[in-house]
Structure 1
Amino acid sequence: MTMKKLLPLTLLVPIVLSACAGKPKPQPKEPDMFATNIKDTNRKVFNFSISANQDKGDNKPERGGAGGPPSKAGNKSKTKSENPQERLLDELFAHLETTLSDTGYCREGYTEIDTYESSGRLHILGACNEVATPEDKRQFANNYGY
């Protein structure tokens, strides 16, 4: 090949490489965190959190369920104009419902104590509607001191 034929190629390669290098890498999704605490009074409390930077898809589950906050009546088909913060709250409650169902921690539902955001995570602090059984005390070690 002659130098004249290579000149366009040598100009094109840096442009293509710089275009690829400018794309940001997707940040890895941080895992959900579930911390349980059984008090001396046998009251079962928990702190659950998700990353506030998670992808927000269109497949948002409904809020509510086993003792959680009530679902919004008549709001089965949510619009795309929904507030991103509200979508994230829906995701928080949906993930919590799944976690409580999978672990069996709150068998009779829960009461929401507080919901807050800190350090890029959205948290819910709650208390189970039932007291801890001896089996709960064996199965759920106190892993967070609140």
Structure 2
Amino acid sequence: MLENSFSKVYTKFKMDLYSKVFKEFKDKDVEPLSAMEVISMEIIVALGNPTINEFATAAKLSPPNAAYKVNKLIQKGYINKIQSTEDKREYHIEATEEYKKNYGVIYDYIAVVLGRVQETFSPDDVKKLDEILETTADELMPEVEIGEEKKIK
């Protein structure tokens, strides 16, 4: 039962993401991202402004392949490269406002669902759900590392 319920919630979030990835852009000046580019952007956002090498490691890409993907995303206007203040040879990458405007709506559905959770369940139940999710993310999923929690809006 737990597995089916969790799988259903996870699948609904994925379906919302996929439908937004394939939507038609009204603004014809915007160059849409391919599905693989959206996945790359999702990794970059999840890592919290990584270096190109950190992105390569997380995505299991060779550094040259990761650099190629990053450069394509820069050309499309969805990534900024920012020189590290600590090591001038290193650059961090971050999502641009253009990405947030066109693809950040992906995160709106999370807020909608969580608002419904808070309206439907007691504050104690919501707190317990938060604790369960926090423990799951922090302790029960050590194979997957993400950067600082960031919300795109």
- The TM tier, using the shorter chain, reads under 0.3
Provide the TM-score with structure 1 as the length reference.
Answer: 0.23
* Higher helix content, 1 or 2: 2
Bigger relative CO (Cα 8 Å, ≥ 6 apart): 1
Provide the TM-score with structure 2 as the length reference.
Answer: 0.22
Computing the radius of gyration over CA atoms, which structure comes out larger, 1 or 2?
Answer: 1
* Higher strand content, 1 or 2: 1
